[in-house]
Amino acid sequence: MARLTARRRHLVMATVSVLALAATIPGCVAMATEDTGAPGRIQGTGKSDGKPGGTPGTASPGAGRTTAPARVSAEISHGSESKGKVVNITIDDGPEPVWTEKVLGLLKRYDVKATFCIVGTRAKEYPALVKKVVAAGHRLCNHSVDHNTAMDQRSEEYQKEQVLDALKMIRDAAGKDVEVRYYRAPGGAFTPYSREVAASHGMRPLGWSVDTHDWQNPGSARIVETVKRDLREGPTVLFHDGGGNRSQTVTALEELLPWLKDQGYAFAFPEI
């Protein structure tokens, strides 16, 4: 048999690599390749992959069910599943006993539902708090195993473990039938691969429209000002209940939640 040319050998190897990757992800389809800035990283607004697209799917069945999770779009979600003048409140990095409890209390007082982006190791440490979030009617989002903001620079195997191991930790804490509807990469460190892993397990990659920078503790007044100024950018607002002292976030939410209602905003969940 004639010896393969270098070009033909390259094409064969590329084909084998693609097939091998597809075999590792249930329901895998061709992954999006568009990115801007650092590879796979979402910049401060969570928008480097452009506006959300594709056809939204249904949420993942809970662990323990016999059916495979339904695949959802791998495009990063920035919008709301509800139309009109709405806000999607998202809360990251918990649960944490002091601040998650305070945030839950405020949300209950103002009858607001939110999406909690939960770190796997924190869910494992505080399962009762995860159950409390679910019992209050809020939605869950997978925020990786341990919030490594450089995970987009690591191997695909590492990224897969960060997404799927965290999913198991959150489900173990929340209950086997509780749906984890979203995946938000720590610090916005998405890659096409991690988005596909999440989407193939029923979790829509979740970006944000307004970054309050509350994790930097800029002062509650600055947090409030940022939200009021930047809401024109889109409905999904990023807050934190973990990762440090979140008293400024709590104070800001105490002012913002009634203000948003007075301005005619309704509260909704991110699109799936």
Q: Does 143 fall in a domain? A: yes
pLDDT in tens, 71-88: 999 999 999 999 999 999
Q: Which residue has the higher pLDDT, 177 or 3?
A: 177
pLDDT at 11: 37
pLDDT at 67: 58
- Distance, in Å, from the CA atom of 141 to the CA atom of 163, rounded to the nearest integer, reads 11
Average pLDDT rounded to a whole number, residues 233-260: 98
Q: Does 3 fall in a domain? A: no
Q: Does 234 fall in a domain? A: yes
> What residues contact 108, with CB distance under 8 A and at least 6 apart?
136
> What residues contact 7, with CB distance under 8 A and at least 6 apart?
none
The answer, yes or no, to whether residue 20 has pLDDT greater than 60, is no
* Window from 62-66, 84-88, 234-238 with minimum mean pLDDT: 62-66
Please say if 240 is a catalytic residue.
yes
Q: Does 50 fall in a domain? A: no
pLDDT at 7: 38
- CATH at 233: 3.20.20.370
Count Cβ neighbours within 10 Å for each residue of 64-95 and write b for 16 or more, e otherwise.
eeeeebebbbbbbbbbbebeeebbbbbbbbbb
The whole-model pTM stands at 0.78
Q: Does 186 fall in a domain? A: yes
Q: How many domains, the chain?
A: 1
Catalytic residue among 78, 138, 143, 240: 240
Q: Does 23 fall in a domain? A: no
pLDDT at 68: 61
Please say if 165 is a catalytic residue.
no
- Distance, in Å, from the CA atom of 203 to the CA atom of 42, rounded to the nearest integer, reads 17
The answer, yes or no, to whether residue 109 has pLDDT greater than 80, is yes
pLDDT in tens, 193-204: 999 999 999 999
pLDDT at 140: 98
pLDDT at 78: 97
Q: Work out the mean pLDDT of the chain and round it to a whole number.
A: 82
* Window from 41-45, 95-99, 122-126, 182-186 with minimum mean pLDDT: 41-45
3-state percent helix, strand, coil for the chain, nearest multiple of 5: 40, 15, 45
pLDDT at 52: 31
Angle between helical axes of 97-109 and 247-262 (0-180°, round to 10): 10
* pLDDT bucket at 114, cuts 50 / 70 / 90: very high
* pLDDT bucket at 130, cuts 50 / 70 / 90: very high
pLDDT at 4: 37
Domain enclosing residue 154, as ranges: 84-272
* pLDDT bucket at 153, cuts 50 / 70 / 90: very high
Percent of residues, the chain, with pLDDT higher than 90? 74
Q: Does 29 fall in a domain? A: no
pLDDT at 49: 37
* pLDDT bucket at 60, cuts 50 / 70 / 90: very low
Alpha helices in 205-246 (DSSP H): 220-230
Catalytic residue among 49, 92, 152, 211: 92
Q: Does 9 fall in a domain? A: no
